[in-house]
């Protein structure tokens, strides 16, 4: 259990990290966002609920570190048509909570609401986010990010920006 002071310090560092991550995503700073990941990072966006087994059932995204890299490389080609032109994005990150520890990583949860404007239309996305963060060389990094969309049981429009 952290002391009140160190908990407040950690909360402040974690919040700053999540806001920075949100800004990189909203502004399509793909390489800066990729650099936030640890080498064993897992990026998971489940479908059909929050508690499916991604090793057995289909997820919208279930990327290991090398597939995260592939996803970013594709965006960087400039020929990822669904992001050419890029979606215009802004998201609000809120309800940030420290959720204890997970195998030495810092467990964090937040809610987010995203507004996307694309060629198709304007779309609102909302999600519960669960993170495992780790200090590497004094900097926070993401080892795990799970994004549970509120409406992930329904048919969803293309989701090709970084969520």
Partner 1 sequence: MNIVPRASHWDELIRPDRVHGSLYNDPAIFEAELQNIWYRTWVYVGHESEVPNASDYVAKSIGPQSIIMTRDEQGKINLLLNRCSHRGNQVCSYDRGNARSFTCPFHSWTFANDGRLVGYAFPDGYEGTDKAGLGLGHVTRVQSYRGFVFGSFAAEGPSLREHLGGAAETIDRLVRTSPEGEVEVTAGFLKHRVKANWKFILENECDGYHPAFVHSSIFGVADSAIGTLYGGKSTAITRDYGNGHTEIDLRPEFRKRDQPLSWFGTNEARLPDYTSRMKAAYGNEQAREIMVDGTPHVMIFPNLFIAEIQMFVIQPLASDDSVQHVTALQFKGAPDMNRRLRQQTMGSVGPAGLLLADDSEMYERCHRGVLARNPEWIFLGRGERREGSDAAGFKIGHVTDEVPSRGIWRHYRSLMEAR
Beta-strand relationship, 122-136 and 59-63: unpaired
Nearer to partner 1, 106 or 163 (CB): 163
| 58 touches partner 1 by CB under 8 A | yes
Nearer to partner 1, 101 or 122 (CB): 122
- Distance, in Å, from the CA atom of 133 to the CA atom of 101, rounded to the nearest integer, reads 9
- Distance, in Å, from the CA atom of 27 to the CA atom of 39, rounded to the nearest integer, reads 23
Q: Which helix (H) or strand (E) holds 111?
A: strand 105-117
> DSSP assignment, residue 94?
E
C-beta of 80: minimal distance to partner 1 in Å?
5
Q: Is residue 145 a contact partner of residue 161, using CB atoms and an 8 Å limit?
A: no
| Location of structure tokens 């293309």 | 158
Cis peptide before 66 (omega within 30 of 0): no
> Which residues in the 38-57 window bind partner 1 by CB under 8 A?
45, 47-48, 52, 55-57
Nearer to partner 1, 61 or 108 (CB): 61
Nearer to partner 1, 19 or 157 (CB): 157
Contact segment (CB under 8 A) with partner 1 among 5-13, 20-28, 76-84, 108-116 equals: 76-84
C-beta of 78: minimal distance to partner 1 in Å?
8
Q: How far is CA 14 from CA 26, 59, 70, 103, 161, in A?
A: 18, 27, 27, 18, 23
Q: Which residue in the set 1, 51, 79, 137 belongs to the binding site for partner 1 (CB under 8 A)?
A: 79
> Which residues in the 91-130 window bind partner 1 by CB under 8 A?
119-121
Residues that bind partner 1 (CB under 8 A): 45, 47-48, 52, 55-63, 67, 70-71, 73-74, 77-82, 119-121, 153-160, 163
């Amino acid at each position: 259990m952290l002391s009140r002071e160190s908990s407040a310090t950690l909360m402040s560092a974690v919040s700053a990290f999540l806001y920075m991550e949100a800004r990189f995503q909203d502004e399509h700073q793909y390489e800066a966002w990729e650099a936030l990941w640890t080498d064993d990072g897992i990026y998971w966006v489940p479908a059909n609920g929050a508690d499916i087994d991604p090793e057995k059932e289909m997820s919208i995204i279930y990327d290991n570190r090398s597939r995260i890299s592939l996803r970013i490389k594709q965006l960087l080609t400039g020929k990822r048509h669904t992001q050419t032109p890029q979606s215009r994005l802004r998201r609000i990150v809120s309800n940030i909570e420290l959720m204890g520890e997970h195998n030495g990583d810092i467990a964090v949860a937040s809610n987010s609401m995203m507004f996307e404007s694309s060629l198709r239309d304007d779309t609102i996305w909302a999600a519960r986010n669960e993170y495992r963060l780790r200090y590497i060389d004094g900097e926070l990094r993401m080892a795990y990010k799970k994004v549970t969309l509120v409406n992930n049981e329904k048919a969803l429009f293309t989701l090709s920006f970084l969520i």
